[in-house]
């Protein structure tokens, strides 16, 4: 079945006519197998799909968009690529709903780092496609959030946001802006910080499972 993104699938252990979807979106320089390592521990009733980003990096590594550095080592996001990847993920969700027995009213994004940044972008640009978002170790990048953001259209989305306080890749200060912004929209937002770097601590995973099981 040719969908627009290469992906891995774990079918639900508890099969219904249509099952909820967990879409796993990896970070920069990783691949579709990274977050899929969690699949066995995720709730049984979900269809779990882990997607591979479209841009190749050396080794078995991929990116959703380029990150460029200037002479002073300041980082810049390739916003055009980021917007294209955001739209590609939205398109892939539609394709997956057509291809697999997925409940289109129950789609959850779990993104790590660059995948979390994209998860904010997809959910706030295409809110009708998404019911929940778990944004792990990422931040909200305004350039990939839909301009026509209406509180009414996004108010059903629930967010789980987590970050390590000693993250040297993405400063925790960047992430703290996301729950503040989402609360101004009146959205249901759960925010956690952990004493770790750029990764998912065991307690972080446990809290994420609680969020998914609610």
Q: Report if residue 197 sits inside a domain.
A: yes
DSSP string, 177-205: HHHHHHHHTT-EEEEEEES-SSS--HHHH
Q: Is residue 136 part of a domain?
A: yes
SS3 for 172?
Answer: helix
Q: Under 8 Å CB-to-CB from 52, ≥6 apart: which residues?
A: 5, 6, 7, 26, 31, 32, 62
- Position 131 in a domain: yes
- Residue-level pLDDT at 58: 92
Question: With 90 as the cut, is the pLDDT of residue 76 above it?
Answer: no
pLDDT of residue 149: 78
| Average pLDDT of the chain, as a whole number | 93
* Residue 206 CB neighbours (<10 A): 11
User: Is 1 within the bounds of a domain?
Assistant: no
Confirm whether 109 is domain-assigned: yes
Cα 185 to Cα 151: distance, rounded to the nearest angstrom: 6
How many domains would you assign to the chain? 1
Give the model's pLDDT for residue 68: 79
Cα(203)–Cα(182) distance, integer angstroms: 23
Q: Would you say 79 and 108 are in contact if contact means Cβ atoms under 8 Å apart?
A: no
Q: Are 30 and 198 in contact (CB under 8 A)?
A: no
Which among 68-72, 130-134, 144-148 has the top mean pLDDT?
130-134
pLDDT bucket at 1, cuts 50 / 70 / 90: low
Inform me whether the pLDDT recorded for 69 exceeds 90: no
Q: For the domain that residue 12 is a member of, what is the CATH number? A: 3.40.50.1820
Distance of alpha carbon 179 from alpha carbon 185, whole angstroms: 10
pLDDT score, position 98 = 95
Angle at alpha carbon of residue 189, lines to 20 and 123, rounded to 5°: 55
Over the stretch 181-205, which tens digit does the pLDDT of each residue have? 999 988 989 999 999 999 999 999 9
Question: CA-CA-CA-CA torsion for 40, 7, 22, 173, nearest 10 degrees?
Answer: 100
More reliable by pLDDT, 135 or 15? 135
Q: What pLDDT is stored for residue 119 in this prediction?
A: 98
**What is the extent of the structural domain holding 85?**
7-213
Domain annotation covers residue 2 = no
pLDDT 10s digits, 79-108: 999 999 999 999 999 999 999 999 999 999
Q: Is the residue at 20 inside a domain?
A: yes
Task: Report if residue 16 sits inside a domain.
Answer: yes
DSSP β-ladder status, 188-194 and 158-164: parallel
pLDDT digits (tens, 9 = 90+) for 6-47: 999 999 998 999 999 999 999 999 999 999 988 989 999 999
């Amino acid at each position: 079945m040719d969908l627009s993104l290469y992906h891995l699938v774990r079918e639900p252990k508890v099969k219904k006519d249509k099952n909820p979807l967990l879409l796993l979106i990896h970070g920069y320089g990783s691949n579709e197998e990274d977050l899929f390592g969690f699949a066995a521990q995720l709730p049984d009733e979900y269809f779990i799909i882990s997607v591979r980003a479209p841009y190749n990096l050396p080794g078995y590594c991929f990116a959703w968009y380029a990150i460029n550095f200037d002479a002073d080592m300041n980082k810049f996001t390739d916003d055009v690529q980021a917007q294209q990847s955001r739209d590609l993920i939205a398109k892939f969700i539609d394709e997956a709903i057509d291809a697999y027995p997925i409940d289109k009213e129950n789609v959850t994004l779990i993104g790590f780092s660059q995948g979390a940044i994209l998860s904010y972008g997809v959910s706030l640009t295409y809110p009708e496609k998404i019911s929940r978002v778990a944004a792990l170790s990422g931040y909200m990048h305004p350039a990939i959030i839909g301009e026509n953001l209406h509180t009414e259209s996004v108010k059903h989305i629930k967010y789980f946001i987590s970050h390590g306080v000693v993250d040297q890749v993405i400063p925790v200060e960047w992430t703290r802006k996301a729950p503040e912004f989402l609360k101004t929209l009146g959205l249901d937002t759960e925010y956690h910080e952990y004493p770790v770097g750029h990764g998912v601590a065991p307690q972080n995973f446990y809290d994420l499972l609680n969020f998914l099981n609610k």
